[in-house]
Amino acid sequence: MTGLMVLMLAAAVFGVIAFLLKAPRGGWEAVGAALMLGAAGFAWQANWSQPGAPKAAAATVKASGAALVEARKQIAGDPLQTGNRWSIIADGLARNGNFADAADVLQGAVQQDPRNADAWLAMGNYLVAHSEGVLTPAARYAYTRAAAADPTHPGPLFFEGLALATSGQLEEGRAMWARLLARSPADAPWRDDLAQRLARLDAFIAARDAGQLNR
C-alpha cells in the first residue's frame, strides 16, 4: 500500500509540474526521471515493516538546498515573479537535495534560451552543491555563461567567488567579491551584505597569514 501511495504521489507531482506549472515538454523527461529515481530509491531503501524516521543527513541536505535557493533569490529575484518556469522546477528539486536533477532541468532552459542568465547562474550553483562545494569546470562554465548573458548581473561574481572561498581559494574568491562591490550601485540591495562578507573574509585571511588560525 505504501509503495502504491509513493507512485501515486510521484504521478501527482509530475502532473502539477507538467500541467499546472506548464513546464515545457523538453523538460518533462528530466522531471519524470527525477521523480522515478526518487520513488525507486525509496522502494529500494525502505523497510516496509518499520515506521519512517527522519535522518539528520537528509535534513541537512534539504536545509542547504533551501538556503541556496533563498540566497539566489536575494540577488537574482524570485522565479515565481519573473515567470521562469524552468527555475521554479529546478528550485523545487534543489530544495530536496536533488542538485544533479535540478541542473539537468536547467539544461532545457539554456537550450531554449542561451541568454537566460538566471538559469545559467542556478545551474552553476547546483553543480557546485552536487560536487559538495567544489567549483568544477562545468560549474565555472555555467557562471561564465551567466556573466556573458548579462554582464551587469551580480550573481555570477558573487556565487563563483563564494565557491572559490569556501573551497580554500580565498584570494581568488576575495578578488571576485571586490570586483562586484566596486561596480555595485550605492543603493544595490546586496551591497551592505557583500561588504560585510568581504570584511569577514579579509579578517579571516589576515588571521591565517598571521598564523592565528593554527594556534
- Domain positions in the chain are 1-40+57-123
Confidence of residue 178 (pLDDT cuts 50, 70, 90): very high
Q: What is the pLDDT of residue 71?
A: 78
Which residues fall within 8 angstroms of residue 125, CB to CB, at 6 or more apart?
68, 72, 139, 159
Nearest CA to 154 among 193, 127, 126, 128?
A: 193
Residues 56-85: tens digit of each pLDDT = 433 444 446 777 778 777 776 655 445 467
Evaluate whether 61 touches 98 at the Cβ level (below 8 Å).
Answer: no
Q: Give the 3-state secondary structure of residue 151.
A: coil
pLDDT computed for residue 214 by the predictor: 56
Please give the residue that has the higher pLDDT: either 193 or 75.
193
Task: Please write the tens of the pLDDT for every residue from 13-68.
Answer: 444 444 434 444 444 455 445 444 444 444 434 443 444 444 443 344 444 677 77
User: 155-166 vs 56-76: helix axis angle to the nearest 10?
Assistant: 150
Write the pLDDT tens digit of every residue in 85-122: 777 888 888 888 899 999 999 988 899 899 999 899 99
39, 44, 50, 55 alpha-carbon torsion, rounded to 10°: -70
